[in-house]
Structure 1
Amino acid sequence: MQPTVVIIGGGYSGVGTAHKLLKHTKPKVPTLRIILVSRSTHHYWNIASVRGVLPGAISDDCLFYDIKSGFQKYPSDSFELVVGSVSEIDLDQECVVIQTPDGPKSTPYTEIVIATGSSYPSRLPFTSIGTYDDTRDELHQLQRKIEAASSILIAGSGATGVETAAELAYAYNSSKDITLVVESEAPLSMLRMDLREAAARGLEALGVKLVTNARVQKSTQSGSKMHIHLSNDDSHETDLYLPLFGTRPNTKFVPQKLLDDRGYIILERTLRAKGFTNVWGVGDVGNLESNQLIYAESQTQHLAKNLDLVLTGRPDQVTELKP
C-alpha cells in the first residue's frame, strides 16, 4: 500500500499537519497521499470567536476559510478532502469508516492522525460544532441574542471567558450588564497571581462585574430570563447565559482502549497513542497539555517532524515533545 496519512479534523492541527507533510515530506516521498477528513468544508478561525460573536464585528469571510481551496497548490493526486465524520477506527484492519453525504466510506491508512479538538457541552460556537452551515448559523443566532440582551452572564474564567467578557464590555460600554463568574479569587488560573489580579482590575475597569470564588450549580430558563444558581448560594437573573467552561475532547469515535477516563487520548511524548506506532494524536484530543492554541501549535510542529522521520524510513529517530 502506498504511504497514506489519514488526518481526522479540519482545525488548526489537522490542516496544519496536512500542509506541512505536503510541503516538506511529499517531495521526499513522491507516492505520499494525504487524506483530510473534516465535518466542515470550511476551517473556522475560532481564535477570533471572542470578537466574532459581536454582531458586525468580523465578517463570515474572515472567520471561515474554504479548506479545499487552500490545498489547490499541491498535486491533485497527493491530497483528498473527505467531508464527513469518522464513526469508527479499526485498529486491526488499519482503516477508518467515514460517514459522508453519499453514505459510509471505508478508507485504509498507513498512519493516522487524530486532530478533532474539543468543544463545549453547550455547543456554543466558540469552536466548530459540526458542518460549516451548523457553526455559521449558530454563530449568527448567538450574535442576535447578544444584540438583544440587556444582561449577559459568563461562567468560566479561562482565556475564552475573560476575553469574551472584555470584548462585550468594551463594545457595549455600560449599555449591557456583563458579569463574569470566577471559580477562584481571580481569573486565568493558569497564570501567576500578579497577572491574574491585573486581569481582574482590567475587567473591572471595563465595567465587568466579577463574582469570585463561585461556580454555577444550576441554570434554569424562566420565560425570557435565565436564573443562575451559584455555589456560594447567590442567584442571578440574566437575559443571556454563556457557560464557557468544561470543554471536552471530541473523541467519541476513538476506540476506548486509546482513551483515559476523561476521554482524552493517552499519548506518549512522541505524540503516538500509547501502544501503537502508527496512531498519533495532536492538540486538544491528547492528555499531554491543556487545551490551548499555543500547545496545539507546538505539538503540530513536532508531529510533522516525527511523521516526516517515519515516512522517510527513520522511525528510530522520532523525538519526544519537550514540556
Structure 2
Amino acid sequence: MTGKRVIIAGLGDTGVLTAIHLSGHADVVGISVKPALVSGQELGMRLSRPDAWARDYWISFDRFRGLDRVRTIQAALSGVDLADRAVFARHADGSVEIEHYDALVIATGVTNGFWRRPDLQSADQIGAELQAAHDRLAAARSVVVVGGGAAAVSSAANIATVWPNKWIGLYYPGERPLADHHPRVWRRVRRRLSDAGVVLRPGHRAAIPNGFGYERITSEPVAWRSGQAPTSADAVLWAIGQVRPNTDWLPPELLDDEGFVRVTPQLRVPDHHGVFAVGDVAATDRLRSSARNRADRLVAHNVRAEFAGRSLRSYRAPNRRWGSVLGVQADGLEVFAPSGLRFRFPAWSIDRVLQPWIVRRGIYHGIRRPRTDEVG
C-alpha cells in the first residue's frame, strides 16, 4: 500500500478512529470543520457539566498519538470529482483546496440540534457555544425537554441531577422513550429519572412549524399535535431526532431518498470502487448503527483489502441500540447491551481504568495530556 492516499471526510468520533486505524498503512488526510474532535456523544453531560464533558469529548487532533502520521485540514467539503478522484475543501477565507485520493471514506455525520452542526469553528467559538448553552439552562427555573431518544432522556436526567431545584419535564410522543432500546433499558432508566425528580409526559407529539429552527434552546410555548394544551417553560430543549445528513457536497447518485450515503454490506458505495461510508451518514440499516458498533475497524480493513485485492468483510448491524444512556453519574457508568442487560463501571474506575486505559489507550491508541492553555 506504499504511496496510497486515503482521505477521511469528517473527523468526528468515527472518522478519527478510522484515520487512526489506517495511519500506519497509507498516506491519510483527514478533513474536518473543527480543529479538534468535538464528539456528538453525551449531550446531557455536555449541557450540565461542560468542563467534565470537554475533558473527555473535546480533544484537539494534535493530542491523538494515533493521528501523528495523519495530515489534518480544517475546511468544509464543497464537492467531489468521482472520475478524477478528488475532493474540494473550502477554507474559512473562502479559498478552495483540492485533494486527490486513492480511497475516500465518507464520515461527515449528521446535523442534529445545536450540538452537531457542520460549521467551521475555532476553538474559542466551540468553547463559547458550549458555555452559552450551559448558562442558558443554569438561568432557567423550569426546563422542558422534547424528544424520546437517548439525547433527550440523558439531558433531562443530567439537568435534573445537577440542578435539583429546577422543574424538569420530559415530553415524548410514544408510551415510552428509548423505543429503539430493549424494554429493560427503559425500566431501569425510568427509575433513575424518577429519583432525579424528572416529570414524565408520554403521548406528547410536538407541532413543529415549517422552517422552525430547533438548533437552539427556545422559550416560546410548545404546541402539541397530540391535542394537549401548549406547555411553557423558561427553557425548551429540542432533542427530537430530526437528523440531517451532511451530504450537500456529494452528488445525488450516491445518496438514498433521505440524503444518506448508500452502501453495500461492506460499507462500500455501490459502483464506486475506493469510495466507502461509515458512521451516522451511512445508510447501513434502519438505525444507521455503524457509528456505534466499531465499524471504523471494519471499514479500515476493507480499504486495505481493496487495495490489496483481498475479499472484504461485511457489517452486521444489531437489532437494537445499545451503550450508555445517561453517561457518567455520581455512582459510576451504566452500559446496556442490545439485550437490555446492563453492566456498571463503578465511580472509582472511571478516571483510573475506563478513561485512561480502555478509552484513551485502548480505543484511541494514546492521548497526550492537554497543554495548560488548552481547554479540549
* TM-score interval, normalised by the smaller of the two chains: 0.7 to 0.9
What is the aligned partner in structure 2 of residue 156 from structure 1? 147
Contact 2:281 2:288 survives alignment (8 Å): no
List aligned pairs for 1:1-323, cutoff 5 A: 2-23=3-24, 26=25, 32-55=26-49, 57-58=51-52, 60-71=54-65, 74-75=68-69, 79-101=70-92, 103-120=95-112, 122=113, 124-125=114-115, 129-131=119-121, 132-173=123-164, 175-218=165-208, 225-234=219-228, 235-245=230-240, 246-289=242-285, 295-311=291-307, 313-315=308-310, 317-323=311-317
Contact 1:4 1:35 survives alignment (8 Å): yes
- One-letter amino acid matched to 1:189: A
Query: How far apart are the structure 1 equivalents of 2:198 and 2:132?
Result: 23
Query: How far apart are the structure 2 equivalents of 1:294 and 1:281?
Result: 10
- Mark the CA change 1:126 to 1:74 in structure 2 (over 3 Å): closer, same or farther: closer
- Mark the CA change 1:63 to 1:128 in structure 2 (over 3 Å): closer, same or farther: farther
Unaligned stretches of 5+ residues in structure 2:
318-376
Query: How far apart are the structure 1 equivalents of 2:8 and 2:221?
Result: 42
Cα distance per residue 1:65-111 (max 9 Å; x no partner): 11134258745xxx311110110011111100110245101111110
- Mark the CA change 1:60 to 1:12 in structure 2 (over 3 Å): closer, same or farther: closer
Unaligned stretches of 5+ residues in structure 1:
27-31
Q: Which moved more, 1:41-50 or 1:148-157?
A: 41-50
Contact 1:128 1:135 survives alignment (8 Å): no
Query: How far apart are the structure 2 equivalents of 1:153 and 1:128?
Result: 26
What is the aligned partner in structure 2 of residue 29 from structure 1? none
- Mark the CA change 1:247 to 1:73 in structure 2 (over 3 Å): closer, same or farther: closer
Which has more strand, going by share of residues? 1
Q: Which moved more, 1:189-198 or 1:275-284?
A: 189-198
- Mark the CA change 1:105 to 1:241 in structure 2 (over 3 Å): closer, same or farther: same
Contact 1:55 1:147 survives alignment (8 Å): no
Cα distance per residue 1:174-203 (max 9 Å; x no partner): x11111111100110012334324433432
Contact 1:227 1:237 survives alignment (8 Å): yes
Query: How far apart are the structure 1 equivalents of 2:202 and 2:146?
Result: 11
Query: How far apart are the structure 2 equivalents of 1:128 and 1:93?
Result: 25
- One-letter amino acid matched to 2:238: P
- One-letter amino acid matched to 1:152: V
Q: TM-score, normalised to structure 2's length?
A: 0.75
Query: How far apart are the structure 2 equivalents of 1:247 and 1:309?
Result: 32
Query: How far apart are the structure 2 equivalents of 1:90 and 1:140?
Result: 39
Contact 1:55 1:144 survives alignment (8 Å): no
- One-letter amino acid matched to 1:125: W
Query: How far apart are the structure 2 equivalents of 1:250 and 1:49?
Result: 19
- Mark the CA change 1:159 to 1:128 in structure 2 (over 3 Å): closer, same or farther: farther
**Aligned residues: CA RMSD:** 2.5
Query: How far apart are the structure 2 equivalents of 1:266 and 1:73?
Result: 28
Alignment size in residue pairs: 306
Contact 1:186 1:197 survives alignment (8 Å): no
Cα distance per residue 1:117-148 (max 9 Å; x no partner): 1121x4x2256754244433221110110110
- Mark the CA change 1:83 to 1:196 in structure 2 (over 3 Å): closer, same or farther: same
- One-letter amino acid matched to 1:236: T
Query: How far apart are the structure 2 equivalents of 1:13 and 1:83?
Result: 17
Cα distance per residue 1:274-299 (max 9 Å; x no partner): 22111100000011135677744421
**What secondary structure does 1:228 align onto?**
coil
Query: How far apart are the structure 1 equivalents of 2:288 and 2:280?
Result: 7
- Mark the CA change 1:104 to 1:57 in structure 2 (over 3 Å): closer, same or farther: closer
- One-letter amino acid matched to 1:243: W
> Share of identical aligned residues, percent?
22
Q: TM-score, normalised to structure 1's length?
A: 0.86
- One-letter amino acid matched to 2:13: Y
Contact 1:39 1:84 survives alignment (8 Å): yes
